[in-house]
A and B are shown apart, each in its own frame.
Chain A
């Protein structure tokens, strides 16, 4: 009970962090059709920016300023990098962001060095939130969940209840008609791209000190968030939310479970030893296979439900 509850909570908080990343990616994708390969790099930039800003001004200003800076960088990338490529189609755009992800890793190492930087959790959020039975739940995890959920609510309200959100939604499906009504669609694209990057930056600010702020942090989450976007259904925010939570919980549970097919079969009376056929496969524990679970899920989804959980297009 205790184990299940806390693993579930940890899984949900990890899943919410994944959602903060994949929501920006999904927004950019559904709007511009561009798969931003450098999205995780903006997450990393957010963490490093927050590290620098928080060492001067403190954590709370960094929570606001770092995403703004990352969002502005993203807007500049769209304006001067992606927009001129738009006429060539989606593959050059994808390749551009792919090259950008290489470049950002190098620039980060150039500015902040190759080792991990010390970006600590602020003292006011350090400590247990509550203690149940004998395990305590860290306050910072709760804070992460709070930020992610309020961000989710904010995106939803902006997209459905404000004028800007309605224009964005209209530009998503009918860019020509929106342009004919006098809106500057390329500029909307620029700000959506910047906004998506800012969301990734925000995830970096709160993910950077929950985990480690290092140059390889982009590569660690990079491929997972692509899995989230495909599993959820390309371009579907609700799908991205469900898939993030699913993968977060799945991975957290898998890491904690130390059972293998062999241990189950042996407890049922079978006698499996090194000489049994397929011993290597049978002795694998669930925790050992945690790393491949998201990708296995991806392959299964693509075979059985190619448009993703909530996707509308193939």
Chain B
């Protein structure tokens, strides 16, 4: 590494990120888009903090929501309190959440990080169930089934900022997202961030060079819990309610799904994952009851065929493009994509008709699908779906070998070139 006073590439990337955060509400102006953007922002922090464990530390946690959720509960009680909590401005509430998350990271992390791998995964699962079950036992603090509500508008306006309008909340979230992202990226460059990568890849050798792997995992988890707490606090400010669901295994599983979909091997993977996750869980769930089926299937397909997530797919294409060879693969790639889209349309039609038949049959057998009125009991639509699926399969069989050949050839050339330049 050489010393460079001005890293232009890095400035461009971070500047671009800040610019996107700034102008996003000006581009997406439709009804609920502000609250969706706010949700994406909190989920991005949560996902990045989760990836500190899974991506950078190799710790598969099923209980990360414990830290964000407990952080959120502390924030909601601070916001409601009349004592010292009233003196803390809303802008700094995420710090309260972060410190609370960190506190529980110190407390629980000591037990969970004793182990790595599968055992760690199971302990975290037990822990999240423990916290969730206790949350229903102490209604005084956790608010029972209904949760605890709060009001984010309080005190005097500070330079006209009351956090009443959603746009102010969005910019609060965006600012914290920007700062947290920089902080978490900086973490990957620290000695601790480096050694935790080594602990992920080869714990035995790390022990040999004199590090205590448990201690490394513990410290990483504490920091990760801090950022999780920040995201929990921002979620509280956004929704003005916290319930037991915030500390549940469901919430923890969701962040695992989203981060993995985005790509755990890349720093920016969770950012992608948050967007995809909100697309599935908020936008798609408005349109179809089958969204969890699509999400589960999408996840399984990714695990099976692209274990490094969406980020890896994008980066592989970028790599091909940066070597100027994109022109050779785009034709067969388009063919495969067309086949996939046709197949997807057929599959979605079949699933939607099935769901209508089992769950919604009381309202008659006719449903609207892609703008058409379809009778799910008739044979005709099913036949059409079958034809569409067969066409898709035929196209796939047609284009796949061509694409595969072009892809292997191009990548072999790139590898050869890289080797040549290194030698």
Contact = CB atoms under 8 A, between A and B. Distances in A.
Contact of B358 (A81, A113, A306): A113
Contact of B134 (A103, A113, A292, A303): A292
A57 to B, nearest CB: 23
Contact of A102 (B114, B122, B249, B296): B296
A299 B125 contact: no
Contacts of B295: 102
Given A226-B125, A230-B122, A92 B111 contact: no
Interface in B248-276: 249, 253, 256-257, 260
A291 to B, nearest CB: 4
Contacts of B249: 223
Contacts of A302: 111, 114-115, 123
B415 interface: no
Contact of A95 (B111, B119, B127, B260): B260
Contacts of B297: 103
A106 B122 contact: no
B26 interface: no
A98 interface: yes
A147 B50 CA distance: 43
Contacts of A230: 119, 122-123, 126
Contacts of B354: 110
Interface string A213-246: 0000000000100110110001000000000000
B137 A288 contact: yes
Contact residues on B (Cβ < 8 Å of other chain), bracket? 35 or more
B114 A306 contact: yes
A191 B307 CA distance: 26
B299 A99 contact: yes
B140 A229 contact: no
B30 interface: no
A295 B127 contact: yes
Interface string B128-148: 011001101110110000000
A226 B117 contact: no
A41 B25 CA distance: 42
Nearest to B138: A280
Contacts of A295: 126-127, 129-130, 133
A289 interface: yes
B337 interface: no
Nearest to A296: B130
A106 B293 contact: yes
Contacts of B304: 81, 84-85, 96
A91 interface: yes
A35 B121 contact: yes
Contacts of B134: 292
A98 B256 contact: yes
Contacts of A98: 253, 256
A81 B140 CA distance: 46
Interface in A77-109: 81, 84-85, 88, 90-92, 94-96, 98-100, 102-103, 105-107, 109
Nearest to B357: A110
Contacts of B125: 223, 226
19 contacts: A33-B118, A85-B303, A88-B307, A92-B303, A95-B260, A96-B304, A102-B253, A106-B296, A110-B351, A229-B122, A230-B122, A234-B119, A280-B138, A281-B138, A295-B133, A298-B123, A298-B130, A299-B130, A314-B115
Q: Closest 8 interchain pairs by CB?
A: A102-B296, A295-B130, A103-B296, A106-B293, A291-B133, A298-B126, A99-B300, A99-B299
Given A90-B118, A113-B359, A226-B126, 20 more contacts: A35-B121, A35-B122, A81-B300, A85-B304, A90-B117, A96-B303, A98-B253, A99-B303, A102-B296, A106-B293, A110-B354, A114-B359, A223-B125, A223-B249, A234-B118, A291-B133, A292-B137, A295-B129, A299-B127, A302-B111
